[in-house]
């Protein structure tokens, strides 16, 4: 337990130690200053409190005068849940002892106020404690002492107990002063008025609650609308403006439109995939997007059975990228079809164009390197790549990794 740990260093001045507090850290601070276990200090204080309330007074003075240790996070209150009942009882008893002290000293008004005051004090302490623990979120370091999870019912019943205590105090007070019978009529009158008012205002309240939640929903909607408007403004409107400026260059306009379309599609499907995760489809789309941007040749990607990428998959995508680049450069601007399928650990990518075709016997020297980066790369990564000129013209690059190929 943290209370039992000895102080790490002996401080020069006497300070409260909120880190190991039970109430305000007075005892813990004293214990640390003198290098003794705060438990003994606490025992001494309790004993002194029992003996005429002296301890309580000293504790309060200490609380006021001793500065708190700086730079430490107050420990989370160790009491909650059932403990808040103990806090209530404790507060009541503390007040009782204080009253007894005052009575012994001779400052006194009437015995009739003792029980009501004690009950009010206990109830108030319980309610405050409850509302504080409801309001304050658990601090991050509270994991050391995970706060007991209060069930809703337990919380409500404790709040109810606090209210009952306060009401009981009122009743006892009225009883003691003989005003109860008079008060009964008043209570009855108040009750009747309250019931009447609640009947009158119930529809109004219900409507208010409904309109509040409707307003909240509307606010969320308008936030979404604002986000969408901002996005459209940044992307679509900008592109449209750009397209109007470049209206005399149809190639450029088409490229701008394609890029915007791609961007908008990925934005629309954004909710369903995490952006930082690289899958076959997203990687191919990204490569296609990049090449399309540079060369203005439309590239259509169809991916089936999307899958996360491993090293071999990355190599396949890189090879496919080279193939797309080739097709964009040498296929005379004809559209490029990219088809990728991932099934049972086997990954196939086809890059197809409808250009003049590809005569492998007449590869110019500057394309040999490119060919290396497709065929060679796949060989190095345990796959294969085939470049062929299919019936109907054009070029098709087939890239395969995994499956029975290995």
Partner 1 sequence: MRIAIVDDHQLFRSGVRAELEGLVEIVGDADGVDSAERLILDNSPDVVLLDVHMPDGGGVEVIRRVAPERPGTRFLALSVSDDAEDVIAVIRAGARGYVTKTISGDELADAIRRVHGGDAVFSPRLAGFVLDAFAGAPPAPADAELDQLTPREREVLQHIARGYMYKEIAHRLDISAKTVEAHVSAVLRKLQLSSRHELSRWAAERHLLDADS
Least Cβ distance, residue 62 to partner 1 (angstroms): 57
Comparing CB distances to partner 1, the nearer of 15 and 321 is 321
Q: Closest distance between partner 1 and the C-beta of residue 305, in Å?
A: 5
> What contacts 405, CB < 8 A, 6 or more positions away?
346, 382, 383, 384
136-153 in b/e form (b: 16+ CB < 10 A) is eeeeeeeeeeebeebeee
Nearer to partner 1, 207 or 265 (CB): 265
Distance CA 298, CA 370 (A): 21
Residue ranges binding partner 1 (CB under 8 A)? 261, 265, 269, 272-274, 277, 279, 298, 300, 302-308, 337, 339, 341, 343, 350, 352, 354, 390-392, 396
Dihedral angle sign, alpha carbons of residues 207, 208, 209, 211? positive
By beta-carbon proximity to partner 1, the closer residue of 37 and 348 is 348
**In a 3-state reduction of DSSP, which class is residue 122?**
helix
Nearer CB in complex with partner 1: 269/361:
269
Closer residue to partner 1 (CB): 31 or 394:
394
Q: Is 288 exposed, middle or buried (0-12, 13-18, 19+ CB in 10 A)?
A: buried
Measured from the CB of residue 236, what is the shortest distance to partner 1 in angstroms? 14
Shortest distance, position 354 Cβ to partner 1, whole Å: 8
Token digits of residue 156: 């409500």
Residue number, 13 or 244, with CB nearest to partner 1: 244
**Which backbone phi and psi does 267 adopt, to 5 degrees?**
-70, -40
Please tell me the distance from the alpha carbon of residue 367 to that of residue 389, in angstroms, as a whole number: 16
| Closest separation in Å from C-beta 271 to partner 1 | 9
Q: Note whether 134 and 90 are within 8 A (CB).
A: no
Closest distance between partner 1 and the C-beta of residue 209, in Å?
Answer: 33
């Amino acid at each position: 337990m943290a209370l039992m740990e000895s102080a790490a260093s002996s401080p020069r001045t006497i300070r409260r130690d909120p880190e190991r507090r039970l109430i305000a850290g007075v005892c813990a601070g004293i214990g640390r200053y003198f290098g003794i276990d705060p438990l003994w200090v606490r025992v001494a204080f309790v004993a002194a409190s029992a003996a005429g309330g002296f301890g309580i007074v000293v504790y309060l003075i200490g609380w006021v005068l001793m500065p708190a240790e700086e730079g430490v996070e107050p420990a989370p209150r160790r009491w909650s849940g059932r403990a808040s009942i103990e806090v209530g009882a404790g507060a009541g008893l503390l007040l009782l002892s204080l009253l007894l002290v005052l009575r012994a000293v001779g400052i006194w008004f009437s015995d009739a106020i003792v029980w009501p005051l004690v009950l009010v004090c206990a109830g108030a302490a319980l309610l405050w404690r409850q509302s504080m623990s409801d309001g304050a979120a658990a601090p991050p370091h509270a994991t050391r002492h995970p706060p007991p999870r209060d069930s809703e019912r337990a919380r409500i019943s404790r709040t109810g107990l606090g209210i009952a205590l306060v009401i009981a105090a009122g009743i006892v007070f009225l009883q003691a002063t003989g005003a109860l019978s008079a008060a009964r009529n008043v209570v009855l009158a108040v009750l009747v008025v309250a019931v009447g008012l609640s009947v009158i205002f119930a529809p109004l309240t219900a409507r208010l609650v409904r309109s509040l939640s409707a307003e909240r929903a509307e606010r969320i909607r308008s936030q979404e609308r604002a986000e969408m408007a901002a996005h459209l403004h940044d992307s679509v409107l900008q592109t449209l403006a750009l397209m109007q400026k470049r209206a005399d260059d149809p190639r450029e306009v088409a490229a701008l439109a394609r890029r915007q379309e791609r961007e908008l599609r990925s934005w629309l499907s954004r909710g369903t995939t995490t952006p930082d995760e690289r899958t076959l489809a997203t990687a191919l789309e990204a490569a296609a997007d990049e090449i399309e941007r540079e060369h203005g040749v439309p590239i259509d990607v169809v991916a089936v059975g999307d899958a996360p990428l491993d090293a071999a998959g990355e190599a396949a995508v890189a090879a496919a990228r080279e193939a797309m680049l080739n097709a964009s450069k040498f296929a005379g601007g004809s559209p490029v079809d990219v088809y990728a399928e991932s099934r049972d650990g086997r990954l196939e990518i086809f890059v197809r164009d409808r250009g003049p075709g590809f005569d492998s016997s007449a590869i110019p020297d500057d394309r040999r390197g490119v060919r290396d980066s497709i065929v060679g790369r796949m060989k190095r990564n345990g796959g294969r790549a085939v470049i062929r000129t299919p019936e109907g013209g054009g070029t098709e690059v087939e890239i395969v990794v995994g499956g029975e190929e290995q």
